[in-house]
Structure 1
Amino acid sequence: MRGVAVRTVAAPVVLGIVALALWQVAVVALDVKPFVIPSPIAIGTAFGSTPSTIFAGALVTGANALVGLVVGSIVGILFAVIAALVKAIDEITAPVVAGLAVIPIVALAPAFYTMFGANAQTARQLIAAIAVFIPVFVNTLRGLRQVRPVHRDLMKAYAATSWQATRTVTLPGALPYLFTGFRIASSLAVISALIAEYFGGPIGGIGRAITTAVASSNYALAWAYVVGAILLGLVFYIVTLALETLASRHRSHA
């Protein structure tokens, strides 16, 4: 069992090291210019020389992504529960969700900055919330529909109300689907908050830092910020995965 765990961790680490080595060799051997792609050593040097700046940008982007993740998840779960209970609401929300899914962030960001002000983080948080709402709503609603007919009949036999049946049977059964939506949404929250920073808004955040570094032709630093964004996305994903593991263990012991 321990050997399997070691191989599971070692395989991607070795693959990453090999990929970075090939990247470094290709950049040096082919004399690739920094504006095309810097070498891993140059990116690592830039990252190591400005960790506090990258961390500060990650805090801004992470805070916006976290607000969007929480708000979007709460709204998505509530609407999914209502849609599962009321068929008319389900029919109404389906085209709305389909419409939200195809709205490009590049179109939303300038409009929201005009609505809420270019000095407020509200636009970025709302964009992240919209991106989060879709996978959470879709996956939660799918999970709510997976209840077996025998369980529904049993709750009816006990004269349980719709809310009691939802709370005791439907929601617990939907947890795996709910956390699938969370895992997808955790990455989308970071990506959407990051992209929204490219199109204006207050100074701060990894997205604005990347554009500033590129504008000053400091391409290694720009890629260092990209590494910071990747690490931020991994933190969100790992925390979500840990919460899913804890919820699964609690459910199995209950």
Structure 2
Amino acid sequence: MAVLKKKKRKSAVESVLYPALFGVLIIVMWQTGILHKLLKTDEYILPYPTRIISIIFENSDKIMTNVWASVEVAVCGLILGSLLGYIIAIIAAIFPIYGSGGLTIVSAFNAIPIVALAPVIINWTKDVSEQAEIRSMVAKIIVVTVVSMASMSVNAYRGLTELTPFSHDLMKTYAAGKITEFVKLRLPNSIPYIFTALRVSVPGSVISALVSEYFAEHIIGVGRQIRENILIAQYSTAWAYIITACIIGILMYAVLMIIESVLLRKRR
């Protein structure tokens, strides 16, 4: 047992250490100009990390305003999409005859590129409000909702239906009703699958929020700032927002991992 724990601890350290060392290597190559020579570009197109960091600190107030706008869209769309996806999974589990067909239709949304989905939804929601800010917010949340819904519905359906035979037989032995079976057996069994879906949906929600901002009417959000600064050839500022977008995704994923480790600690 002690040897097994030591191996797991070593594996956990290596899974963090090696990517971190690789990231440090890339940053060193970037800062020293080696990366520019390899990519055959200059410091104007690919600014040095120190220059990007300085821009982030110099424009922290403006950047944070756009960050909160993007995070609000990503989180609201993620929550709404996950809830709708779970409801669809429940309906599919209760009515298995129609469930597979419904899940197939929902899963088909994953095949639609976000760059194609976002303009269509933005056009559909142009009459939602007279204010461009509200129209843009609704459209962006819908885009994130659609992206998040498919992953949750498929994984939650597996958690609700893929039960161990003895546990299902035990519930029948106790003459448990469908509601009791759902609350005591199916719902707890689906929790790990929910987090599996969220591992996909959280990065997807950030990406879809940023992409939808490219096409939105209201000029706000990290994604929109990346586009605007590239258009006016302010590549250093654009890179500052790109790095900020990466940080948003990493932090949201880290929060998810912390919540998962707390809730599933006993299960593990």
TM-score by length of 1: 0.90
Task: Please give the alpha-carbon distance, in whole angstroms, between the structure 2 residues aligned to 1:35 and 1:131.
Answer: 35
Change (3 A) 1:28 1:64: closer
Q: CA deviation at 1:235?
A: 1.6
Task: Please give the alpha-carbon distance, in whole angstroms, between the structure 1 residues aligned to 2:110 and 2:74.
Answer: 18
Task: Please give the alpha-carbon distance, in whole angstroms, between the structure 2 residues aligned to 1:144 and 1:28.
Answer: 51
- In the alignment, does 2:102 pair up with 1:93? yes
- In the alignment, does 2:267 pair up with 1:239? no
Write out aligned runs for 1:55-134 (5 A).
55-117=64-126, 118-119=132-133, 120=135, 121-134=137-150
Task: Please give the alpha-carbon distance, in whole angstroms, between the structure 1 residues aligned to 2:148 and 2:191.
Answer: 17
Give the structure 1 partner of residue 3 of structure 2.
none
Identity across aligned pairs (percent)?
A: 31
Give the structure 1 partner of residue 22 of structure 2.
15
Q: Following superposition, which runs of at least 4 residues in structure 1 exceed 6 angstroms of deviation?
A: none
**Structure 2 unmatched ranges of 5 or more:** 1-5, 127-131
Say whether the 8 Å CA contact 1:35–1:217 is kept in structure 2.
Answer: no
**Structure 1 unmatched ranges of 5 or more:** none
Q: CA deviation at 1:46?
A: 1.9
Aligned equivalent of 1:166, options 168, 175, 182: 182
> Could you tell which deviates more after superposition, 109-118 or 163-172?
109-118
Task: Please give the alpha-carbon distance, in whole angstroms, between the structure 1 residues aligned to 2:156 and 2:13.
Answer: 34
Q: CA deviation at 1:98?
A: 3.1
Say whether the 8 Å CA contact 2:85–2:149 is kept in structure 1.
Answer: yes
Say whether the 8 Å CA contact 1:27–1:39 is kept in structure 2.
Answer: no
Task: Report how many residues are paired.
Answer: 252
Q: CA deviation at 1:238?
A: 1.1
> Could you tell which deviates more after superposition, 26-35 or 229-238?
26-35
Give the structure 2 partner of residue 216 of structure 1.
232
Task: Please give the alpha-carbon distance, in whole angstroms, between the structure 2 residues aligned to 1:181 and 1:156.
Answer: 29
Task: Please give the alpha-carbon distance, in whole angstroms, between the structure 2 residues aligned to 1:159 and 1:86.
Answer: 21
Say whether the 8 Å CA contact 2:156–2:193 is kept in structure 1.
Answer: yes
Q: CA deviation at 1:34?
A: 4.4
Say whether the 8 Å CA contact 2:92–2:99 is kept in structure 1.
Answer: yes
Across the aligned residues of Structure 1 and Structure 2, the Cα RMSD in angstroms comes to: 2.2
Aligned equivalent of 2:197, options 158, 166, 181: 181
Change (3 A) 1:249 1:27: closer
Task: Please give the alpha-carbon distance, in whole angstroms, between the structure 2 residues aligned to 1:251 and 1:148.
Answer: 15
Secondary structure at the aligned position of 1:249 is classed as coil
**Alignment-mate amino acid for residue 52 of structure 2:** I
CA displacement, residues 75-98 of structure 1 (integer Å, 9 cap, x when unaligned): 111111221121123133133123
